[in-house]
Each structure stands twice: as structure tokens, then as C-alpha cells.
Amino acid sequence: MLNVTSVARPSSVAEDRWSGRLISWLAILVGANLLVDLVVVAPLLALPQMLQHFETDQAAWLNSSAMLAGAMWAPLLGRGADIHGKRRILVVTMVATFAGSLVCLIAPNVIVFVLGRFLQGAAMGAMLLTVAITRQLCTPRIGMTAVGVVTSGASILGVGALFVLTSAIDAFGYRSVFAAAAVLAAVCGVTVRMFIPESPIRSSGSIDVAGALLLGSGLVAVLGYVSLAQDEGWANAGMLAMLFAGVAALVAGVWHVLRVPEPIIDLRGIGVPLALTLGAVALAAGAVQSMLQLASLVAEVSPELGLGYGLGGGDTVLVLFTLSAVGIMFGGPVAGVLASRIGPARTLLAGIGVGAVATFGMLAGVSVFPVGLACATLLGVTVGASIASGFNLVTSIAPPERHGAVGGLVAVMLSIGSVVLNVVGVMVLNATAGDTLVGGIPANSLTGVWLYVLMSGTALVAAAVIATVLVRRHR
């Protein structure tokens, strides 16, 4: 059982109106979330250089390791934050990310580099920690809007950072990405420690390290199989060994957490509203992320090839992702404002509805440039709205002393949804490619593209059904 050691927030900490102090706090927390883009997205810009430097073709490991590690870090960081303080654990997260960035910067071989990426994966915990801090720095009246700002405010900054890093990579090589991540982690760690107040709300107990290791390693292994086996082969001996080891670790982890009094994830305490919220967030975020993946693929294809899809190639990909970033930055704060008025459950349902319209609109958007741009923007709105609403909803359901733990569950479900639906989408494209050739090179078929859209749309419809049940329960 959890015991709250302090439940009262001093008036000097809990903000009940927008002020210069609150805005400065949110700016620092947005900077911490920007680190996620530098850890997960920015290395993709230097992927060809990294493959050449380490003389490997294991692009999936170099790319996916940080996100997979984030799924392992999230429950541990969330539970630790509830016990030891949100600010303190956020600083620990920045230190781990700083150390991982340095390891990647000086790594002599690919094994050491991947270990550094796993350390960098701690940055994935920044979002759940910044949300927990925000909800406990603010009164509920403005807290939900502030969560929207914190979860989506880094999107435009992330696009600008990618422009700068592209030039830096051309001039100084792939290490520029990890030098920038190390600098940002150090700056965020110092500013968070100096300026962000610590919440007095804590839970008692200890951290279930054994449960965290079993569930975390099992989840990483299973997600690793799902994300990597499409390149290595589903029947590859190493991949199957990873899958079996992951399933065994998950089974052992579930058995463990059901027996101990203070588990890392309290499976017995997950009620129906929290379970429904996690399911809706996983489906919605995964479907939208898979659609952004598809948008980047069709944007690189010229309509002149006669495939029935294509948005022109060239800088179209950059335009699409810039517009989706604008949508994210718009969707998060607007969802926060709506959540404070109509409730986070209704706001989540509305965001999912926008995503469904944009997804099915991509049936035309894969070949009509203006429609594609509009759909990419709306997909960004859905990303911002679903993430902000998901965090707002779980922190409304759970008591303050469990905000870190439930935020960790949201982070894990975001990773699971994104990995699984991205892989399923690629499998749909590969299964329907057939004999479609362009200049003798296999290409995705129009049927595959449409089936991909329908797959993502179906996931969003399922998320909308779950969100509707949530709305009715809250009513």
C-alpha cells in the first residue's frame, strides 16, 4: 500500500494563474522534452555515416535501441519519482542521458555505441516526469493546459534543431548529434536542479528493482524482436532466442509483481478507467505514428512514376514533418484548454476523431499534394492532443502520489503502440508489393498503401470506441 508523506502544496509552489515564474518553469521543462528529439530522431540524420564508421549494416539496432530502452526506463523512473521526488529523478534522467551521449560520442565499436544508446534511452522518461512535475506545480485549473504546453512545446524547437544539426553533421560528422545531446542534457540538468521546485508529495516504500528488470528486459526483448525481425528474418535463430527470452522474462515479471507488496507496476491496482485510457492512447499514438511513417514514404515518390501515389520527392518530406510539428504544437495546448473545460476523456475522443479524419483523408492525400499537407498537419494535431489528453487523463484518475508511476505506464504504451503499428504497416506494404517495379527495383503498390491507411484507420476507430466508453464512465 502507498502512504502519502505530505499532501499539502505550499502556496509558494502551486500556481493558480499564469505568471512569469510559471512560464519560466515550463520553458525549462520543454527544454528537457526537446532532449527526446535529439536522442530518438536526430541520430537518423547521421545514420549513413554511423553505419559506415562502425562498418555494420545493423541500422535497426543503431536506430531503435534508445526507444526500446525508454520502455525499460519508464516504469523505474516513474516509481522512483513517486518515492524520491520528481525533480530529483528528472535530474538523474538528465545525468544518465549525458553519460550515454558521451559514451556514443567516444564509442570505439558498435557494441559500446549501442550500450550508450541504451543509457540515452533514459531521456524517454523526461516526458512523463515533466508532466508529473507540471501537474504538481499547478492547480488543476491551469495544470491541464500547462501539460499540453510541456508535452508539445518542443515540436517546433525540434524541427529547428534538426535543421541546425544537418549542417553540423555535414561539417563535423555524426558525433555532432551526440555532442549536442550531451550539452543539452547538462544544461537541462543544471537548470532543473536550480530553478524547478521539488513537490512535497511523496509515496513511501521501496523500488522493486527485480520487477523492473524482469518486466523491462522482457518488454525490450519482445519489442526488439517485433521491430528488428522484419530486417533480420522472423525465423532467425537469434531473433527467436530474443523473443523466447523476452516472453519468459515477462511471465516471470508478472508472476513477481503479483506476489510482492510494493511492485514496480501494481497490476492489481489498474482499474478499468486506467486500462481503457492506456489502450486508447496506445492505439491512437501508434496509428498516427504509423501514418506519419507512411507519409514520409509516399512523399519521397514522384507522381511521374505512375504508381498511383507520390507527393513529389525532394523537400516534400521536410515540409510534411514541419507541418506535423506545427500541428503537434497546436494540438497539445488546445487539448489542455479543452480538457480543463470539457474533461480529458472527451478531449481525447475529439483528438482521435481528428486523427481518423486525417487518416482516411490520406486515401486521397497519398497522391494529391494539398490534401497530403492538410492531413499531415491534422495528424500532428492528433499526436499533440492524444499525448496531452492521455497524460491529463491518467493523472486525473490516479492520486498525486502515483503520478510518476501512471505516467510511466503511458510512456510504455506509447512505445508499444508506435513500434507494433509501424512494423505492421511495413509488413502490409511488403506483403502487397507483388511485382511492382520501378526501373527494375521493387516498389510499394497502391493497394498496399491503401491497405496501410485502412489498417491505421481501423486502429483509430478502435481507439475511438474505447474513448467513447471512457466518456460515458466519466459522465
* Amino acid found at 463: A
Task: Tell whether 177 is covered by a domain.
Answer: yes
Q: Which amino acid is at 85?
A: G
How far, in Å, are 115, 290, 394, 444, 456 from residue 428 at the CA level?
Answer: 32, 12, 33, 10, 11
- C-alpha 252/C-alpha 250 separation (Å) is 5
CA end-to-end span of the chain: 29
- pLDDT for 90 equals 93
Separation between Cα atoms, residue 365 and residue 461, nearest integer Å: 19
418 in Cβ contact with 369 (< 8 Å):
no
Q: Which of 245, 263, 281 is the last residue of a domain?
A: 263
DSSP result, 57-79: --HHHHHHHHHHHHHHHHHHHHH
Pairwise CA distance, residues 86 & 71, whole Å: 18
Give the best-scoring range by mean pLDDT among 91-100, 165-174, 364-373: 91-100
Q: Say if 133 falls within a structural domain.
A: yes
For residue 274, tell me if it sits in a domain.
yes
Structural domain includes residue 5: no
State the cell numbers at 316.
516534400
Nearest 5°: phi and psi at 30?
A: -65, -40
DSSP secondary-structure letter at 30?
A: H
Mean pLDDT of the chain: 84
Residues 349 and 313 in one domain: yes
Q: Are residues 139 and 220 in the same domain?
A: no
Q: Are residues 90 and 167 in the same domain?
A: yes
C-alpha span between 97 and 125 (Å, rounded): 10
pLDDT at 196 over 50: yes
Residues 296, 454: Cα–Cα separation, whole Å? 17
pLDDT digit string (tens) for 138-177?
Answer: 887 788 888 888 888 777 777 777 778 878 888 888 889 8
In a domain, 13, yes or no: no
Q: What is the number of domains present in the chain?
A: 3
Same-domain status, 455 and 319 = yes
Give dist(CA 454, CA 360) in Å, integer.
7
Domain-embedded: residue 9: no
Closest CA to 302 of 350, 235, 367: 367
CA separation (Å) from 307 to 22, 95, 353, 373? 52, 49, 30, 19
Residue 315 domain flag:
yes
Given 199, 219, 242, which residue is the final one in a domain?
199
* Domain finish residue from 219, 240, 263: 263
Q: Would you state the pLDDT for residue 4?
A: 37
Helix/strand/coil for 297: helix
Together in a domain, 136 and 245: no
Q: What is the pLDDT of residues 39-63, one digit of tens each?
A: 887 787 777 788 788 877 666 667 6
**DSSP letter string, 158-223:** HHHHHHHHHHHHHHH-THHHHHHHHHHHHHHHHHHHHHSPPP---B-S---HHHHHHHHHHHHHHH
341 and 440 together in one domain: yes
Domain check: are 48 and 136 in the same one? Answer: yes
CATH number of domain containing 419: 1.20.1250.20
- C-alpha 434/C-alpha 454 separation (Å) is 19
Is 58 in the same domain as 149? yes
Contacts of 126 (CB under 8 A, 6+ apart): 32, 33, 35, 36, 90, 93, 94, 97
Angle of helix 369-397 versus helix 316-342 axis, rounded to 10: 40
pLDDT band of residue 9 (cuts 50, 70, 90) is very low
Q: What does the pLDDT look like over 297-345, one tens digit per residue?
A: 888 788 877 778 888 766 777 788 788 888 988 888 899 889 888 889 9
Per the CB < 8 A criterion, the answer to whether 446 and 307 are in contact is yes
107 dihedral zone (left: phi>0; alpha: psi -120 to 50; beta): beta
Question: Within this chain, do residues 285 and 342 fall inside the same structural domain, yes or no?
Answer: yes
Q: Residue 377 pLDDT > 70, yes or no?
A: yes
Range of the domain at 436: 265-475
Same structural domain for residues 378 and 310? yes
Q: Counting Cβ atoms within 10 Å, is residue 206 exposed (0-12), middle (13-18) or buried (19+)? A: exposed
Coil/strand/helix, residue 437: strand
| Region 423-452 average pLDDT | 76
Structural domain includes residue 75: yes
Is the domain of 194 the same as that of 213?
A: no
Whether residue 252 sits in one domain with residue 298 = no
